[in-house]
Structure 1
Amino acid sequence: MDIEENKVLQEEQFILRLPLEEAKRIREVLRNKPEKLKKLMKISVDLNDNKVLLNLGKNKLYGSIKKLPTLIESYKTNICNNKSLLYKTADICHIVECVYEERAKEKNETIHGICPPLKNVKKKRFRKTLFNKDFAVEAEKVSKELYYLLSTDLEACSSKFEIIYEGDPTEKAKKQCEKSLFGQLSSDSSESENNSNE
């Protein structure tokens, strides 16, 4: 991969999608003589424009780097002749689609995943949540009222609150509810409440 020297080199993996004839040719080279692939194929990447130039022998292919909507994990096996262990090598989140003619600038993201069940996955599964305007207006009114009440409470010299229960709960239930709301009240606050009630 030829990347400009002033750029930081990153170890990343991506999927290379080629036209059918070129893909068959590369598969044959990989099966028969994999060491020839370095001479046959050269990839030039421009990270600023997300463009890729692929030289396959005498053919030139043009591609663009696109972000996948899902992550694909790649693994390595047969390390030190141990085929039972899997080693994760990278998360693949980009695809390079190559064609024979250079295209105008395209979107940097794809809406489809790699396998058929992930067709239109970005629109179907990762769509934006629906927005209820009436609920949003009501929530905004309630939050404004709450801020107003809290600000007036802070400006007051003294404030008092009262808990109103539904039905007729017992004293034990009242204390348990207050404890769950406010925690354990300190002895000073309970004494001051008793003194103020007398």
Structure 2
Amino acid sequence: MEETNEVVLEEQFILRLPSEEAQKVREILHTKPEKLKKVMKIDLDLNDNQVTVNFGKNRLSGRLRKLPTIIESYKTNICNNKSLLFKTADICHIADCGYGDIDDETAEKAETIHGLCPSLKNVKKKRFRKTLFNKDFAVEAEKISKELYYLLSTDLEAVSSKFEIIYEEDPNKKQHKQFENSLFGQFSSDSSESENSNYC
């Protein structure tokens, strides 16, 4: 068999700086990119998700937060070939840096609710569907899990044990639909209509 070399993606994140520092970084990247390593230093603390940026004599601090969406990063113009695109990383974190210490409110938020472009504003609450939480079903599930752990623990202590699986002869379909509606809400009838149209 031929050995395939797995391509390891780069680790990338978006760095958001104040307007003055961002403009200086752009100028350095356009004129002398090799100078940026001497002027700028980034320290990441992954345990606390803290970011410290030393840019010249200025010291900026920020928080590394998770984006609600995943952005793919690509490279082009490799070996003077602009027709091909090469994927380099999946970007899912952003570092908001500024002057001063981190506020307690921003420190608690480990994930942002907004995307990068205007159409993804408040995307976590608008587009991502949440399951409905029913306290009665949660309490009942917790009781069943406790009873199951008790039965398994006593089964381990027993000298010999045997089990038998009993299937329901006439399962109640309406009850299953009630559980689905209570968990996920009312479903649209697009799928049922498409199924019925196939049989016509």
Normalised by the shorter chain, which TM-score bucket?
0.5 to 0.7
Pair 1:41 & 2:40 matched: yes
Distance 1:73 1:133, change over 3 A: same
CA distance in 2, matches of 1:25, 1:93: 25
| Residues 156-192 of structure 1, C-alpha deviations (whole Å, 9 max, x = no match) | xxxxx89xxxxxxxxxxxxxxxxxxxxxxxxxxxxxx
- Runs of at least 5 residues in structure 1 that lack an aligned partner in the other structure: 1-9, 141-152, 156-160, 163-198
CA–CA distance in structure 2, aligned partners of residues 154 and 41 of structure 1: 68
Change (3 A) 1:154 1:111: closer
| Equivalent-residue separation in structure 2 for 1:88 and 1:118 (angstroms) | 23
* TM-score for the superposition, normalised by structure 1: 0.61
Q: Deviations over 1:142-163 (max 9, x none)?
A: xxxxxxxxxxx949xxxxx89x
- Identity over the aligned pairs, expressed in percent? 69
Q: Is 1:76–2:75 an aligned residue pair?
A: yes
| 1:88 correspondence with 2:87 | yes
Within 5 A, what are the aligned runs for 1:141-160?
A: 154=166
Q: Which residue of 2 aligns with 1:65?
A: 64
1:107 aligned partner, one-letter code = K
The TM-score normalised by the length of structure 2 is 0.61
Where 1:27 maps in the other structure, the secondary structure is helix
The residue number in structure 2 matching 1:126 is 128
Instruction: Decide whether aligned partners of structure 1 residues 79 and 129 sit closer, same or farther in structure 2, where only a CA change above 3 A counts.
Output: same
**CA contact 2:65–2:112 (8 Å) conserved in 1:** yes
1:110 maps to amino acid: T
Structure 1 Cα separation of the partners of residues 166 and 90 of structure 2: 52
The alignment yields a C-alpha RMSD, in angstroms, of 2.8
Question: How many residues are paired up?
Answer: 135
Change (3 A) 1:30 1:154: closer
Moved over 4 A (4+): 131-134
